[in-house]
Every structure is written in C-alpha cells, then in structure tokens.
C-alpha cells in the first residue's frame, strides 16, 4: 500500500482487519460447505457420474479395438474403397485376435457390437471363433474364407475398418434413424427400420396433449382450491394429494381394471346399452390408455404450482376489476388469468418434462401404439443390451428437455416460474 | 347491519367511522354490490341498485391494498375501466393523461405498479377509481397501509381532488383524525348501527351519546344520577361526591343514571369566583409537559383519569403533583348522556 503499513486498520490482536474478515467469512463458507457435503457426494455418485458415464457411452466405441487390437491396427493400411479384399497380414491379425479373444471369451462382445450395425456378424464371429484355432500358418486369407465365405465380402471388412476408431457417431445416427457407411456418407435407414424419430415425435406430441389436458382439468380445481374457504379447500387439497400417497403401480393398474375390454367401464356401457357386447371399446393398451392414465397421474403436478400462484392473488383484484366495470368473465380473462401465467408456465413445463421421460405408465397401458421413447431406451438397456444406443437416445432426450427449458426461459422467463 | 337509513347527497364526502367489526366495511361492500343486502333498498341517483351487478353500478372503488393490476403499467391500469367501456382510443388517452396529471404523476404512465412507492400506488388507485367518472366513489381504508406523514399528506390530496371534481365519496376508516380532516359528514358506526351522523364539528362538540363522545376525541366521564331537571339542563349527583349542573342531552328524568361527558380543553383550572356554572375540587395525579399545552391527570369525584389540557399561556397556574386545585366548567360544555350498561348499579 502506497500510504504505508500504518494506514492499515488492524483488529485488537494486531491482524489487519481485511485478513481477519476474510478468515471469518472463509470459516463460515467452509462450515456451510461441510453441511452440504453428504448430499453432494450422494448426488455425484448416484446422479452426476452416471449421467457423465452415459454421455461417454453414447460415443464410446472401444469394444472392437480392444477385442481385435491387431486387426484394427492392421486394417488401417487398407483402403475400404479399394474394391479389393485386405492383404493377407490383415487376415493373419484377425486369426490371432480371434484365437485370443475366443480363449478369454471376449469375442462375443465385439460380435454383438458389430451386429448392431450389420446383422449376422454375431453368428459369423461365433462360428469363426470355434474354428480359428486350427489355422496356424500362412496363407491365412484362404483358410479364413474357408471357415465362412462371408469373410470374402467387402462389407464385413468395411465395417471393421469403420468401427475400429475409439469413438463413433453411429449410436447417435441410429438414434435419429440415420446410418453411416464406410465412405463416411450419412443416409437414412431403410424405411421399415426407421423407428426412433417417429417415437420421439409421438412422445413430444402426446406429452404436449397430456399437458394441455392437465391444464384444462387442473385450472378450475386450482381456482376452487385458492378461492374456497379453507374448511372446504383443505379437504379438496387432500383429495388432490391423495394420488401421491398411493403407489404409482396401483394407480396405473387401476386404470387397466377400469378401461380394459372386460373392465368396469365397458361392462357398465354394455349394461346401459350404450354399446353392444361385441362392440366393447378398446380403451387400454393404446394411445387412449396412455392419455387417460398419464393425465391422471401428472395432474397434481399441474394443480399444485397453479394453486400456489393463485393463492397469492388477492381477492381484491377481481373486485377491483368488477368495480371498474368489467364483467366477471372479462375480469377473469383480463386480470385474473394474466396473474396466473407464472403458475401455468411452471405447471406446464413440469408436466411436459415429466411426461416426455415417463416410463412405467406408458409401458403398462401404452400397448404398441402408446409407448414413449423412454420405453425403447429401457428395451435397449434391459433386453438388447445396446447401451450405446440407449445412451445416445437418452442424451438426445436430455438435450431436448434443455432446449425446451431454454425456449421457455426466452419466451416466459424462468424467473416468472413459481413452483410453490 | 340493523336499521340503516342513510342518504348521501351528490358531491358529498361522507365518512363511515367506527371500530373494526362495527359494520362500516359491510355497508360499503353492499353499496359496491359485493355483499348482498338481505333486505331494504339501495338507490343510486333514484335508481334501485339492489339487483344490479357490481360492474354495472358505475361505482368506483379504492381498496386498502390498492388492488392495482401488477401485469399492467400505470397507464394500462387507468385505461382498464375505459377499455371495458369501449371508450375510443383517443378519448382514453386523453382521460388517462388528465387523471395522471390530477394525481401529480404525469411521468409515471409506463411504470409498473411494483416500481412505485406506497403513496404513488395509492394515488394511481384513486385516479383509477375516478377516471371513468363514476356516480360514486367508495374508499375502503385507502390510507391504512401508509406511514403517518404520508397518510396526512394523502388526506389533503384526496380532499382537494374531491373538492376539484365534486364527486360523491363514501370513505371508510377507523382513524378519527382522518375522518375529521376530510369529511363533510361522518357516520359513526358501532355494532352495525349508525350512532350519530353529523358534521365533524357537531360530532365533536355535540356528541349525542356516550359511544360517540368516547370515540371522537378525548373525553372525561363522570358517573352520576340525575337529581332534578331544569328545562334543558339537569342537576347530577356524582357517585364520587359533589353535584354538577349539566346540559341534558340523552338521559331519563329524575333518578336516572347518566354519564357526564366533558372535553379536557373545556375545563378551567382555578376559575374566578362565580365565573363558571360548576366548581369542583380535584387532586393532581400527573403532569405531562407537551409544549403547546400541559396535560394534567387529576382525581375528580372518584375518577382517577380525569384529564385537563392547560394551554401554555402566561396566566397558567403553577401546579404540583399531589396538589388540590379548583376546577370549573360551563354547564353547556358538560353533556349528560346515556349510561349504557349502567342500569341502577352504583359507582
């Protein structure tokens, strides 16, 4: 300091005041931090790391190069566009790799990975694995082709060449129904194999419609909750919250019991003569079932933010509007509704985001036509074990949610959102 | 609400004054149409309005919490009553501009209510209730949320706006100084009944019953029994000893219990011989110096809370606590009123 040491203000024990203050705030900061360490650690381990892992898995492609290290190295010297089979030393590398990996039982993993891109590779690898140990000396090419003449096809070598790099875009491309060939050209998959874009589209429009249903059903209830005397509104609030205390599975299966063709609703309509015995309606395991069950399950997430916002709107607003000459309807539309926009925004974004990632209900009541993208992700995680594709689909879903949130922030403003 | 019969003149500033729960706000809400009148008729300009919906009554209203619409700017708030009346755009703009000038906020049209101070919001609320030229403006404790200085400033402002526009105002408050400052007439409410309806000075000078005397301004009470009636005056024997000659306002004849009401500033300390109608001795309990006057608390006829305001003038008497002094007052200033809940009980 230019004015000299004496101008520094010191505390009673001679420490400069600045230092002393900094120490005190630092201590407080450490204490605050220690309080959140457990939850932070919990979230890191159970949420952040898995998400990061998922991000890596969606582009990770180390299986082929780790199972077939010699082959993937050797094939780099071959030009996949050359219309010629790779030279003999590539076949030699393949034989050695297959012998090794058959021994330590990793060959199947590479086979499954390549099978995602081209069906039949799995069985080719299995067959070659069993027979490759008999090949011991050159020339390798003919002996390998003798095992299975698919080794004489250019496609399999083009595929191995393409998938020998450690990262790949092929999961992401598949997730949007695209494919890449050995030349690096991207093209649409065959018509009958395009499913994901359609599922994304269905997930989005069905979620949007579910959000609209929730808003239409939830708004009047929230309004009642906020305006009724507390004696009645407390009871109503309990009714709104009741679903939260019931298991999700119970609620979903209850809809199955109600809506199935031998279910309560159909029986009632047959009994009342509205429909004939043969004309029982199919109301479950299709889109209709998903709409009904999802709207019911997500309704509280719409009502509660709306209610919390409406609760803060003074009753004098409506009275003022009416005293100023607005009819009850005009007053409601021009004064009350604009003040509930933060609640509408919060409820809609909450329901929509929950909805596009919803899994259990569409899985149970959606049938073939009412399932969401999350159901196909679950399928790839649990059954086909194509985790890379599942991860890519998950990343796209995550990006979609973030994009929508960003748009919402641009249009409505997140600060205008009120959750309670 | 019981037996309410109230007629308000055009251009009048009428205040309903009373403690909370006395029915004044209910009365206002009935006028506005937010509370149904269970029986009886309400007329506005000779038009019965009982069955008219609030938005068709053409009554402006100012609320205690202002009720400015937060999603609209100040101008939009002011334009709202005009817009729902389908006033032309040019007309609306002119009226909004004039209203903003009236409340001295011409530059605030584009602000949101949340960006204004409490007093400014209050002015906008007043302007909004007036901008559509209503037949009647109701104000429900509009200054209740403001601090003391601002409240006084706003009292004058509302009073001046009222004088300028000549609009009829019904104002509700529980603050008596507010009522005295602004009103042409004040209706004092208690227990759902108008206790007295009179001009501010008449309410203070000539309260008609014990509640009004007590509620408006400061008041000394002396309990006693009427011993004789002499025309419009009566003689009262105080419970604590002594006799007082008082104006008979609202008490039964001989033998009835009464409460005498006496304003603190009408009591004279050590009056000249035969200078007053009444003379009684009191003992000084406490003296408080308040600059322009001295406030003395005395024990008079068994009442320890007898207050006298002594103006700080040259001829003031030197008082000490514990001293006995002569007090005097005119019979006209001492009003014999009803004795609610006193019955035949003594003391």
- Taking an 8 Å cut-off on Cβ atoms, the answer to whether B65 and A316 are in contact is yes
The residue of chain A with its CA nearest to that of B34 is: A319
- Whether residues B56 and B198 fall in one domain: yes
- Whether residues B146 and B294 fall in one domain: no
Report the SS3 class of residue A21.
helix
- Whether residues A381 and A412 fall in one domain: yes
B187: pLDDT strictly greater than 50: yes
The residue of chain B with its CA nearest to that of A328 is: B55
- Taking an 8 Å cut-off on Cβ atoms, the answer to whether A326 and B84 are in contact is yes
Strands (E), A290-360: none
**For chain A, how many residues are written?**
420
CA atoms within 13 A on the CB side of A292: 21
Domain termination residue (choose one: A151, A168, A185): A168
- Whether residues B182 and B254 fall in one domain: no
Give pLDDT, residue B35.
Answer: 84
Q: Tokens in use for A399?
A: 């990006």
Is the CA virtual torsion B311, B317, B319, B322 positive or negative? negative
The residue of chain A with its CA nearest to that of B61 is: A323
- Whether residues B62 and B112 fall in one domain: yes
pLDDT tens per residue, range B313-334: 876 667 888 888 888 888 888 8
Q: Please give the Cα distance from A416 to A345 (Å, whole number).
A: 8
- Whether residues A273 and A228 fall in one domain: yes
In a domain, A140, yes or no: yes
Residues on chain A bordering chain B, Cβ-to-Cβ distance under 8 angstroms: 314, 316-317, 319-328, 330-331, 334-335, 338-339, 341
- Whether residues A145 and A13 fall in one domain: no
For helices A287-311 and A196-227, give the axis angle rounded to 10 degrees: 40
Alpha carbon dihedral A183, A186, A187, A189, in 10-degree steps, equals 100
**Residues of A in Cβ contact (< 8 Å) with B64:** 316
Across the range B250-269, mean pLDDT stands at 84
Provide the residue range defining the domain that includes A138. Answer: 62-168
In a domain, A108, yes or no: yes
- Write phi, then psi, for B275 (nearest 5 degrees): -75, -25
Taking the mean position of all CA atoms in its chain, how far away is CA B131? 27
- Whether residues A231 and A307 fall in one domain: yes
Give which of A319, A321, A323, A338 to mutate to test B binding, by max B Cβ within 10 Å: A323
- Whether residues A344 and A205 fall in one domain: yes
**For chain B, how many residues are written?**
347
- Whether residues B158 and B233 fall in one domain: no
Q: Please give the Cα distance from B294 to B316 (Å, whole number).
A: 10
Domain termination residue (choose one: A132, A152, A168): A168
The residue of chain B with its CA nearest to that of A324 is: B81
**Residues of B in Cβ contact (< 8 Å) with A331:** 55
- Whether residues A281 and A338 fall in one domain: yes
**Residues of A in Cβ contact (< 8 Å) with B53:** 322, 327
Give pLDDT, residue B345.
Answer: 39
Structurally, chain B folds into a number of domains equal to 2
Give pLDDT, residue B13.
Answer: 93
- Where residue B1 falls among pLDDT bands split at 50, 70, 90? low
- Whether residues A33 and A134 fall in one domain: no
Cα three-residue angle B301-B307-B311, rounded to 5 degrees: 130
- Taking an 8 Å cut-off on Cβ atoms, the answer to whether A314 and B84 are in contact is no
Give pLDDT, residue B343.
Answer: 46
Domain termination residue (choose one: B210, B240, B266): B210
The enclosing H or E element of A395 equals: helix A387-411
- Whether residues A338 and A401 fall in one domain: yes
The residue of chain B with its CA nearest to that of A319 is: B34
In a domain, B342, yes or no: no
CATH of the domain at B317: 2.40.50.140
- Taking an 8 Å cut-off on Cβ atoms, the answer to whether B67 and A330 are in contact is no
**Residues of B in Cβ contact (< 8 Å) with A416:** none
Is the CA virtual torsion A205, A211, A215, A216 positive or negative? positive
Q: Please give the Cα distance from B117 to B119 (Å, whole number).
A: 5
CB atoms within 10 A of CB A388: 25
**Residues of A in Cβ contact (< 8 Å) with B33:** 322
Biggest alpha carbon–alpha carbon distance for chain A: 100
Q: A312-316, B38-42, B79-83: which has the minimum mean pLDDT?
A: B38-42
DSSP H helical segments within A8-86, as ranges? Answer: 17-43, 49-57, 62-67, 69-74
ipTM of the complex: 0.79
CATH of the domain at A277: 1.10.3720.10
- Whether residues B64 and B168 fall in one domain: yes
Q: Tokens in use for A247?
A: 């298991």
- Whether residues B53 and B180 fall in one domain: yes
A230: closest CA of chain B, how far (Å): 20
- Whether residues A260 and A217 fall in one domain: yes
Q: Please give the Cα distance from A216 to A223 (Å, whole number).
A: 12
In a domain, B345, yes or no: no
A314: closest CA of chain B, how far (Å): 8
Which letter does DSSP use for residue A44 in this model? I
Q: What does the H/E/C string look like for B283-318?
A: EEEEEEECCCEEEEEEEECCEEEEEEEEECCCCCCC
Spatial strand order of the sheet with B303-311 comes to B268-269, B324-329, B278-289, B293-300, B303-311
In a domain, A181, yes or no: no
In a domain, B92, yes or no: yes
B278: pLDDT strictly greater than 90: no
The residue of chain B with its CA nearest to that of A330 is: B84
Q: What is the mean pLDDT of chain B?
A: 86
Across the range B195-202, mean pLDDT stands at 90
- Whether residues A255 and A371 fall in one domain: yes
Residue closest to B309 by CA, chosen among B255, B248, B251, B262: B262
Which of A316, A334, A338 is facing B63, going by the closest CB pair? A316
- Taking an 8 Å cut-off on Cβ atoms, the answer to whether A314 and B129 are in contact is no
Which of A314, A317, A325 is facing B84, going by the closest CB pair? A325
- Whether residues B281 and B322 fall in one domain: yes
CATH of the domain at B163: 3.40.50.300
**Residues of B in Cβ contact (< 8 Å) with A330:** 84
- Whether residues A370 and A250 fall in one domain: yes
Q: A44-53, A71-80, B23-32, B247-256: which has the minimum mean pLDDT?
A: B247-256
In a domain, B18, yes or no: yes
Which letter does DSSP use for residue A326 in this model? -
**Residues of A in Cβ contact (< 8 Å) with B58:** 325
A309: closest CA of chain B, how far (Å): 14
Residue closest to A58 by CA, chosen among A384, A394, A374: A394
Give which of B80, B135, B169 to mutate to test A binding, by max A Cβ within 10 Å: B80
CB < 8 Å & 24+ apart, contacts of B234-239? B234/B258, B234/B336, B236/B260, B236/B336, B238/B301, B238/B302, B239/B301, B239/B302, B239/B346, B239/B347
B344: pLDDT strictly greater than 70: no
Phi-psi region of B341 (alpha: psi -120 to 50; beta: other; left: phi over 0): left
Give pLDDT, residue A419.
Answer: 57
Give pLDDT, residue A1.
Answer: 43
Give pLDDT, residue A202.
Answer: 93
- Whether residues A200 and A93 fall in one domain: no
Give pLDDT, residue B175.
Answer: 87
**Residues of B in Cβ contact (< 8 Å) with A334:** 80, 84
Domain termination residue (choose one: B210, B227, B252): B210
B293 Cβ contact partners less than 8 Å away, ≥ 6 residues apart = B265, B309, B310, B311, B312
Domain termination residue (choose one: B170, B191, B210): B210
Structurally, chain A folds into a number of domains equal to 3
Give pLDDT, residue B216.
Answer: 86
Provide the residue range defining the domain that includes B111. Answer: 13-210
- Whether residues B51 and B183 fall in one domain: yes
- Taking an 8 Å cut-off on Cβ atoms, the answer to whether B54 and A322 are in contact is yes
Which of A317, A328, A341 is facing B69, going by the closest CB pair? A317
Over chain A (420 residues), the average pLDDT of each successive run of 10 is 60 82 89 92 92 89 88 87 86 88 87 86 88 82 86 87 86 89 83 89 94 96 91 89 86 90 89 86 89 93 92 91 92 93 89 91 89 91 89 92 86 64
Residue closest to B114 by CA, chosen among B77, B78, B70: B70
Residue closest to B336 by CA, chosen among B216, B226, B183: B226
């Amino acid at each position: 300091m230019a004015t000299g040491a004496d101008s520094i203000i010191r505390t009673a024990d001679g420490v400069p005041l600045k230092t002393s203050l900094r120490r005190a705030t630092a201590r407080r900061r450490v204490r605050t931090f220690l309080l959140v360490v457990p939850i932070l650690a919990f979230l890191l381990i159970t949420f952040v790391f898995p998400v990061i892992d998922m991000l890596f898995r969606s582009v990770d492609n180390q299986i082929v190069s780790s199972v077939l290290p010699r082959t993937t190295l050797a094939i780099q010297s071959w030009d996949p566009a050359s219309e010629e089979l790779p030279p003999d030393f590539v076949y030699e590398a393949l034989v050695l790799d297959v012998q090794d990996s058959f021994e330590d039982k990793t060959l199947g993993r590479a086979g499954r990975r390549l099978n995602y891109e081209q069906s039949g590779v799995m069985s080719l690898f299995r067959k070659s694995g069993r027979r490759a140990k008999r090949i011991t000396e050159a020339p390798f090419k003919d002996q390998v082709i003798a095992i299975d003449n698919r080794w004489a096809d250019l496609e399999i070598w083009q595929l191995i060449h393409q998938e020998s790099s450690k990262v790949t875009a092929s999961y992401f491309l598949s997730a949007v129904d695209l494919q890449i060939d050995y030349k690096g050209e991207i093209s649409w998959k065959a018509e009958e194999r395009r499913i994901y874009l359609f599922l994304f589209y269905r997930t989005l429009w069905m979620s949007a419609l579910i959000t609209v249903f929730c808003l239409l059903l939830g708004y009047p209830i929230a309004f009642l909750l906020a305006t009724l005397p507390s004696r009645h509104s407390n009871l109503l609030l309990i009714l709104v919250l009741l679903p939260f205390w019931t298991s999700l599975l119970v609620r979903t299966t209850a809809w199955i019991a109600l809506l199935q063709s031998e279910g309560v609703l159909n029986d009632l309509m047959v009994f009342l003569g509205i429909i004939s015995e043969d004309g029982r309606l199919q109301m479950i395991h299709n889109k209709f079932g998903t709409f009904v069950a999802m709207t019911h399950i997500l309704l509280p997430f719409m009502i509660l933010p709306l209610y919390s916002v409406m609760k803060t709107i003074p009753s004098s607003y409506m009275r003022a509007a009416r005293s100023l000459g607005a009819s009850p309807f005009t007053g409601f539309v021009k004064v009350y509704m604009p003040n509930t926009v933060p609640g509408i925004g919060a409820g809609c974004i909450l329901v929509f985001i929950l909805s596009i990632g919803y899994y259990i209900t569409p899985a149970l009541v959606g049938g073939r036509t009412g399932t969401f993208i999350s159901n196909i992700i679950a399928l790839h995680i649990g059954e086909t074990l194509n985790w890379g594709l599942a991860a890519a689909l998950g990343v796209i879903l995550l990006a979609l949610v973030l994009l929508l949130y960003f748009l919402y922030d641009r249009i409505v403003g997140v600060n205008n959102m009120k959750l309670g | 609400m019981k037996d309410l019969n109230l007629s308000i003149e055009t251009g009048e500033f009428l205040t309903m004054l009373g403690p909370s729960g006395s029915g004044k706000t209910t009365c206002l809400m009935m006028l506005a149409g937010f509370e149904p009148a269970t029986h009886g008729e309400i007329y506005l300009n000779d038009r019965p309005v009982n069955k008219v919906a609030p938005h068709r009554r053409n009554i402006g209203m100012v609320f205690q919490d202002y009720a400015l619409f937060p999603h609209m700017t100040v101008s939009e708030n002011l334009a709202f009553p005009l817009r729902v009346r389908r006033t032309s755009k040019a007309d609306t703009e002119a009226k909004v501009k004039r209203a903003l000038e009236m409340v001295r906020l011409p530059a605030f049209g584009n602000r949101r209510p949340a960006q204004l101070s409490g007093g400014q919001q209050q002015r906008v609320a007043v302007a909004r209730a007036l901008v559509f030229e209503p037949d009647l403006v109701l104000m429900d404790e509009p200054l209740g949320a403001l601090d003391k200085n601002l409240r006084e400033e706003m009292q004058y402002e509302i009073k001046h706006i009222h004088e300028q526009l000549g609009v009829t105002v019904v104002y509700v408050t529980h603050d008596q100084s507010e009522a005295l400052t602004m009103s042409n007439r004040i209706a004092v409410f208690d227990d759902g009944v108008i206790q007295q309806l009179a001009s501010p000075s008449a309410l203070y000078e000539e309260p008609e019953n014990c509640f009004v005397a007590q509620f408006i301004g400061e008041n000394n009470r002396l309990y006693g029994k009427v011993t004789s009636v002499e025309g419009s005056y009566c003689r009262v024997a105080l419970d604590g000893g002594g006799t007082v000659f008082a104006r008979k306002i609202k008490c039964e004849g001989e033998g009835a219990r009464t409460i005498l009401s006496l304003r603190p500033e009408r009591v004279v300390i050590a009056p000249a011989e035969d200078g007053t109608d009444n003379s009684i001795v009191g003992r000084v309990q406490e003296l408080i110096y308040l600059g322009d006057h001295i406030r003395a608390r005395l024990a008079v006829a068994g009442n320890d809370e007898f207050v006298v305001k002594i103006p700080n003038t040259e001829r003031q008497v030197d008082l000490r606590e514990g001293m006995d002094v002569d007090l005097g007052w005119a019979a006209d200033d001492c009003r014999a009123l009803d004795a609610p809940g006193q019955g035949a009980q003594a003391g």
